[in-house]
Amino acid sequence: MAPAFCSRLARSHGVSPMGTATEAARWLLIEDPSPWSTDAVEEAGWGRSVHDAIAEWTKTMPDLRVQLIRRGLERWDAPGRIRCIAVRAGPRPVVRKWWLGAYEDIPALQVPKALRASASETDSGPLVLTCVNGRRDACCAKWGRPVAQAAADAAPDAAWQTSHLGGHRFAPTALVLPDGTHYGWLRPDDMADLVEAHRHGHLYDLERVRGAVHQPRPVQAACLSLRRHLGTTALAAVQGVGVKATDAHWTVRTQAESKRRTAHVWQEQRGTPFPHSCGSDEATPETAWRVTWRDADAPGP
């Protein structure tokens, strides 16, 4: 019997998406509408000079993540030109866009300089990246492609298909940049409302938010715990302002409603192990975050 889809398994095991977003504050998006392999970026046929440049940038910026993007398979956004986008996610976002004539032009881009700028050159609305990399995991193709199409129907200029985002047991998964919100278990009929929410500075459906990619996962968990308690979706309403790790847990300082609160965050194994990837029969324990608040800082009614 073939292994079950990992996304279905995760839901049946009651897995929580809270605090599971990919950790990367800087992103480089490179348009490539060719069929993608399991390791899409590493195996892209761009030439040695391009891969050497990317390796140098990731060496100097360890929080840089490179993604392939496309409007659709074998479909260019603008024929004859390659779209590249550099994004610094978070409360002080930066978005820099380029049009290129060939992949050999990529090493000449000033990616580190662009990502260290104080502000974007132009205002940019949300970019919605939906993982559809079926070679990496079958769930991303089976459920990701309908979600990607729904996003494109709702916002053609904002929606992109993308390579592996991480956490395919939460497929369909999508990332909204530049605020950096990572979602899981989306449905096609969510996407119009999701795009609209982000255009107005809000998160969409806190139960599907995995976290903010510019934050460490313990901070993601604490901020989402507080958001759920307060019932607030405004992007600027809750901020993680500090984190300290000990051998046993993390202490996370947050700010919301002009008030500082301190959370203690633990990572624990829960439930019965199950395969976290399609095609795998290796059962892996699931970890979840437990968040408690100092008595003096406990969220009140």
Instruction: Report the domain count for the chain.
Output: 2
**Residue 188 sits in a domain of what CATH number?**
3.40.30.10
Of 210, 225, 250, the one marking the end of a domain is 210
pLDDT value of position 19: 96
| Residue 128 forms part of a structural domain | yes
- pTM, to two decimals: 0.93
Q: Are 115 and 131 within one domain?
A: yes
Give pLDDT tens digits for 110-146.
Answer: 999 999 988 776 667 899 999 999 887 788 888 999 9
For residue 292, the model assigns a pLDDT of 96
Query: pLDDT by residue (tens digit) across 201-217?
Result: 999 999 999 999 999 99
Token readout for 70 is 């496309």
Q: What token pair was written down for 26? A: 């800087």
Phi-psi region of 251 (alpha: psi -120 to 50; beta: other; left: phi over 0): beta
pLDDT recorded at residue 184: 95
**Spatial distance between the Cα atoms of 83 and 266, rounded to a whole number of angstroms:** 41
Of 156, 186, 210, which closes a domain?
210
The H or E element that residue 219 is part of is: helix 217-230
Residues 86 and 183 in one domain: yes
Same domain, yes or no, for 90 and 68? yes
Contact 136, 163 (CB under 8 A): yes
Residues 130 and 202 in one domain: yes
**Do 145 and 259 have their domain in common?**
no
- 144 with 82, same domain: the answer is yes
Spatial strand order in the sheet of 181-183: 94-100, 82-88, 26-31, 64-70, 159-162, 127-131, 174-177, 181-183, 209-212
Q: Which amino acid is at 62?
A: P
Q: For 139-200, give the secondary structure using H, E and C.
A: HHHHCHHHHHHHHHHHCCCCEEEECCCCCHHHCCCEEEECCCEEECCCCHHHHHHHHHHHHC
Confidence (pLDDT) at 294: 81
Question: Of 210, 244, 263, which residue constitutes the final position of a domain?
Answer: 210
State whether 88 and 152 are in the same domain: yes
Indicate whether 1 belongs to any domain.
no
- pLDDT of the chain, 301 residues: tens digit per residue: 455 787 787 787 788 899 999 999 999 999 999 999 999 999 999 999 999 999 999 999 999 999 999 999 999 999 999 999 999 999 899 999 999 999 999 999 999 999 998 877 666 789 999 999 988 778 888 899 999 999 999 999 999 999 999 988 898 999 999 999 999 999 999 999 999 999 999 999 999 999 999 999 999 999 999 999 999 999 999 999 999 999 889 999 999 988 999 999 999 988 787 777 777 778 788 889 999 998 556 665 4
Residue 238 lies in a domain: yes
* Statement to judge: residues 71 and 14 lie in one domain: yes
Residue type, 235: L
Q: Is residue 193 located within the same domain as residue 282?
A: no
Q: Which residue range is the domain that position 263 belongs to? A: 216-297
Residues 155 and 267 in one domain: no
Residues 27 and 87 in one domain: yes
* pLDDT of amino acid 279: 74
Amino acid making up residue 19: G
Residues 226 and 205 grouped into a single domain: no
